[in-house]
Amino acid sequence: MHITDIMQGDSPTFSFEFFPPKTPEAAEILYQTIRDLELYMPHFISVTYGAGGSTRDLTHDLVERIQHTTKLDPIPHLTCVCHNEEEIEAILGRYARSAIGNILALGGDRPRDIPYDKSRDSFQHAVDLVKFIRRFNESGAHPDCRGFGIGVAGFPEGHPATPNRLVEMDHLKAKVDAGADYMVTQLFFDNRDFFDFRERCALAGIHIPIIAGIMPITSMSGFKRIAELAGGARFPAKLLRALQRCENDRVGVRRVGVHFALEQCHDLLDNNVAGIHFYTLNRSDATRVIFDSLGIPRRRSVQASAI
C-alpha cells in the first residue's frame, strides 16, 4: 500500500521497526514478535538494512516473507552505503515485483567490520538515492502507477554529521524537493526537540508527514547502547534521575523506561503528531504495554493492498 493511502485522514499512524535476525534463535524471537504485534494491526512496519552483504539478503528475505505471509505492510530500509546503481535498481525491481509499496531511503551508517571507501558509492547522500527511486517510479516498472512511496530520515536533535543546523535543514529540504513523501525521525527522549524540529520544517517549507520515532528503554545495557547508536542522544535529567534510582533493579528500569515512553506518546498525540514509530529491538513486550496503555482501538481489518 502506498504511503499516501496509509496516512489518509487525520488519525495518527502507529508502526514498528524490526531488524533482520542473524541466528536461528534470533529469527524465532523475531517471528514471535511479529505474530504478537500483528494482532495490533499497525499501519506499517519497517525493516532495517545493514552494511554487509549477508545481512542485506536477510532484509530482502524478511521483507518478502512479511509481505507474503502476514497481514502487515513492510517498508524496507535502503541505504547509499556500499551500493552502485545497478544493485539498487535490482533491489527496487525485486520489491516492485513483490508489490512492496514504500521505501525508506537513508544515507546509512559506515560499515565497521569491512574496508569501506565512500567515494566508490554511486550515491553519496540520501538525496541522490531519493532522486534515483523517483526516476525508477517514473519508468513505470512498479505495478502501482505512483511507484514507491519514498520516506527519509529526520533528526529532531540534529544530524550528528551536520553540526550547522541551517545547512542540515537545507539538506532535508533538498530530499523533500527530490521526491520524499514522508519522514521518520531518529529516536528522541525530549518532545520539545521534536516539536521544535517540526516547526522548523514548516518554516523551511517542508510539509510532508513527520512520524516520531520512539524507543522505550528496557534495560541499563540497552540504555547505554542507545546513547552510542543514536550518535549522542540527549537524555533529560528527569529520565536519568528515575533510572538512577532503580539501576540495579531490572524490573524497575523497564518500568521506568516504558512509563517515560508512554508519557512521550500521550504528549505527542495531544499535539497532533502524524504518527508514532516504535523501535522494538525485535521484542514486543514493551511496545505492547505502551500500545495498550494509550487506549487506542485496534484496527478491525487491514485494507487490501491497492497495488
Determine the pLDDT at residue 37. 87
Alpha helix ranges (H) inside the chain: 3-6, 24-38, 53-69, 85-97, 126-138, 165-178, 191-203, 220-229, 237-245, 250-270, 285-293
Q: Which amino acid is at 77?
A: H
Q: Average pLDDT for residues 161-183, to the nearest whole number?
A: 93
Find the mean pLDDT for residues 53-63. Answer: 76
Dist CA 48 CA 233 (whole Å): 19
In this structure, what are the phi and psi dihedrals at residue 183, rounded to the nearest 5 degrees? -135, 140
Cell of 68: 507474503
The answer to whether the beta carbons of residues 66 and 34 sit under 8 Å apart is: yes
- CA torsion, ordered 185, 201, 205, 3, to nearest 10 deg: 20
Check pLDDT > 70 for residue 51: no
CB of 259 within 8 A of CB of 216?
A: no
- Please tell me which of 13-22, 197-206, 282-291 the model is most confident about, judged by mean pLDDT: 197-206
What percent of the chain is predicted at pLDDT more than 90? 57
Give the range among 97-111, 153-167, 192-206, 218-232 with minimum mean pLDDT.
218-232
Mean of the per-residue pLDDT values of the chain: 87
Higher-pLDDT residue of 88 and 265 is 265
Greater model confidence, 7 or 195: 195
Among 57, 48, 46, 47, CA closest to 87: 57
Whether the full predicted model's pTM is greater than 0.85, yes or no, is: yes
- What angle separates helix 165-178 from helix 126-138, to the nearest 10 degrees? 10
- The answer to whether residue 168 is catalytic is no
- Reduced to 3 states (helix: H, G, I; strand: E, B; else coil), residue 102 is strand
How confident is the model over 219-231, as a mean pLDDT? 79
Give 161 or 50, the one with higher predicted confidence.
161
The lowest-confidence range among 95-104, 211-220, 277-286 is: 277-286
Helix (H, G, I), strand (E, B) or coil at 151: strand
Residue 221 has pLDDT above 60, yes or no: yes
Which of 1-10, 86-95, 155-164, 217-226 reaches the highest mean pLDDT? 86-95
For the stretch 195-210, pLDDT in tens is 999 999 999 999 999 9
Which of the following is catalytic: 17, 89, 168, 228? 17
Q: Are 294 and 262 in contact (CB under 8 A)?
A: yes
Mapping DSSP onto H, E and C, the string for 177-246 reads HHCCCEEEEEECCCHHHHHHHHHHHHHCCCCCCEEEEECCCCCHHHHHHHHHHCCCCCCCHHHHHHHHHC
Count Cβ atoms below 10 Å from residue 118 Cβ, excluding itself. 10
Over residues 67-121, the pLDDT tens digits come to 998 999 999 999 876 677 888 899 999 999 999 999 999 886 666 666 655 666 6
Q: What are phi and psi of 68, to 5 degrees?
A: -95, -15
Task: Give the contacts of 120 (CB within 8 A, at least 6 positions apart).
Answer: none
Cα 243 to Cα 148: distance, rounded to the nearest angstrom: 42
Q: Is 174 helix (H, G, I), strand (E, B) or coil?
A: helix
Mean pLDDT value of segment 288-299? 84
How remote is the C-alpha of 79 from its chain's centroid? 13
Return the DSSP state at 161: T
Amino acid identity, residue 183?
A: M
Of residues 263 and 125, more confidence is placed in 263
